[in-house]
Amino acid sequence: MKLYNLKDHNEQVSFAQAVKQGLGKQQGLFFPLELPEFESTDIDAMLEMDFVSRSSKILSAYIGDEIAAHQLAERVKAAFAFPAPVAEVTEDIACLELFHGPTLAFKDFGGRFMAQMLSYISGTDEQITILTATSGDTGAAVAHAFYGMENVRVVILYPQGKISPLQEKLFCTLGGNIHTIAIDGDFDACQALVKQAFDDEALKKAIGLNSANSINISRLLAQICYYFEAVAQLPQEKRNQLVISVPSGNFGDLTAGLLAKSLGLPVKRFIAATNRNDTVPRFLSNGAWQPNATVATLSNAMDVSQPNNWPRVEELFRRKTWRLNDLGFGAVDDETTRSTMRELAGLGYISEPHAAIAYRMLRDQLQPGEYGLFLGTAHPAKFKESVEEILQQTLPLPVELAERADLPLLSHKMKADFAELRGFLTQL
Ligand SMILES: Cc1ncc(COP(=O)(O)O)c(C=O)c1O
């Protein structure tokens, strides 16, 4: 598989290099040179396969002969060891539940596949430092995916006080090779620090720097697989009228969905649903890219005003000659998020703020005859405090959270200051 840097098309790398490097020169994102496409008969046959076999075929179409098919299949099997069920909410709307992995969020798919790929590519004698910023769930998924792995140190930056207490417990209580830092700033500040570190060639070399954000191509490719898994669970008549609504922050999940469509998955339309951090919806409605200051919302993992995967979305539309006008979009404020969560509870479906935003846009924009899926990106219990307050009911804690809830936090605290972060990284 060859990939090019979106900021400098002359920089071309293999899949292995892209996984190890994360970002290219000038912090450019890597993008596949070839966009494989399956025949519709292949797609039909693939939709009959089990999740792991189908996912291996999808990933192999992108990765090519860099990894032998049977070895890739083994890695996929180890990474995707939990289901992604479709749960019916109304007659014409269902939720693709992506929160049945060890950290109860969709990030488990990407995080675990990336860990598998890195360990395959790096072998055993290279020291790697994973540095990543999280607005909530990436941190937990990455921490758990790499926890205890030899020769890998993980450093996770997150905005202090801006992620849910249980989210924090899930990854800041592990210790060992997992180091967590609460940054005095917002998620964009954390992301900026990570970018600065990747710009620092000397540092990169000294500590074997790698990112595990959704910018890493291995994470993105892994996420394509669950869109196929969703369609595989739908009856034939619903497959051709499918609209998928994606709760979006950094736009990795939406990019993966669009890559699934580019492979030939029948999806009529995608909807990019955001909270009040609505840079993309405003851009799609008036053509002006004008990020505002990030505001804190109930759906904190989507509090991103400069979504770093957006250049990939634009590149894909350009390459496929699709029209950005065909992308559905919309932004939902906290008040509407609350009332939508209550509406969903009334329908017998307990949801959390991120998924509720995607549902809201779907139910507002779905046309007669269409079938809608929205992505359930996190387990409601990960947002226990707000869900309980909004729905006025108690949520039981799943075991994955219950076992960490009373453990002490092991995080360091730091200003959003690169010199300080650099010192920390070199002394690890
Ligand atoms: C629960 C949840 N939903 C949605 C998103 C947004 O996904 P993306 O950043 O790929 O747009 C995130 C991102 O962290 C998340 O944690």
Ligand 1 centroid–CA 426 distance in Å is 30
DSSP 176: T
Beta strands 152-159; 128-133: pairing state: parallel
Per-residue pLDDT tens for 51-80? 999 999 999 999 999 999 999 999 999 999
Per-residue confidence band for 298, with pLDDT thresholds at 50, 70 and 90: very high
pLDDT at 260: 98
Neighbours of 5 (CB within 10 A): 21
Residues 6+ apart with CB under 8 A from 379: 99, 104, 105, 352, 398
Model confidence at 166, pLDDT cuts 50, 70, 90, reads confident
For residue 281, the CA-to-ligand 1 centroid distance in Å is: 16
**Quick one: which atom of ligand 1 is closest to the CA of 138?**
14
Is any atom of ligand 1 closer than 6 Å to the C-beta of 353?
no
Three state DSSP letters for 339-368: HHHHHHHHCCCCCCHHHHHHHHHHHHHCCC
Q: Is 378 in the pocket of ligand 1 (CB under 6 A)?
A: yes
- d(Cα 237, Cα 301) in Å, to the nearest integer? 34
Mutate to test the pocket of ligand 1, among 377, 384, 386, 387 (most ligand atoms within 8 A of CB): 377
Residue 70 CA to ligand 1 center (angstroms) comes to 31
CB of 139 closer than 6 angstroms to any ligand 1 atom: no
Q: Name 108's Cβ contacts closer than 8 Å, sequence gap at least 6.
A: 82, 98, 101, 102, 141, 144, 145
| Residue that is written with structure tokens 């299949």 in the block | 73
Kindly give the distance from the C-alpha atom of residue 323 to the centroid of ligand 1, in angstroms, as a whole number. 24
The terminus-to-terminus CA distance of the chain in angstroms comes to: 34
Residue 387: pLDDT above 70?
yes
pLDDT confidence band for 151 (50 / 70 / 90)? confident
Q: Is 252 in the pocket of ligand 1 (CB under 6 A)?
A: yes
Could you tell me which residues come within 8 angstroms of residue 28 by beta carbon, excluding any fewer than 6 positions away? 5, 6, 7, 8, 11
Instruction: Give the separation between CA 10 and CA 340, rounded to whole angstroms.
Output: 47
pTM of this structure:
0.90
Q: Is the pLDDT of residue 136 over 80?
A: no
64 residue type, one letter: G
Residue 249 alpha carbon to ligand 1 centre in Å? 5
Q: Which atom of ligand 1 is nearest to the CA of 304?
A: 9
Residue 124 pLDDT greater than 70, yes or no: no
Residue type for 36, please?
P
* 185-234 tens-digit pLDDT: 999 999 999 989 988 999 998 998 887 766 899 999 999 999 999 999 99
CA–centroid distance, 395 to ligand 1, in Å, is 22
- Helix H, strand E, coil C: the string for 178-207 is EEEEEEECCHHHHHHHHHHHHHCHHHHHHH
Put the strands of the sheet holding 86-88 in their side by side order: 86-88, 93-97, 371-376, 242-247, 269-274, 328-331
Q: Indicate which residue's Cα is closest to atom 9 of ligand 1.
A: 250
Q: How far is CA 57 from CA 32, 45, 73, 79, in A?
A: 17, 11, 8, 15
Q: How far is the CA of 247 from the centre of ligand 1 (A)?
A: 7
CB-side neighbour CA atoms (13 Å) of 351: 36
Cα–Cα dist 86/94, whole Å: 6
Sequence-distant (≥ 6) Cβ neighbours of residue 322 within 8 angstroms: 316
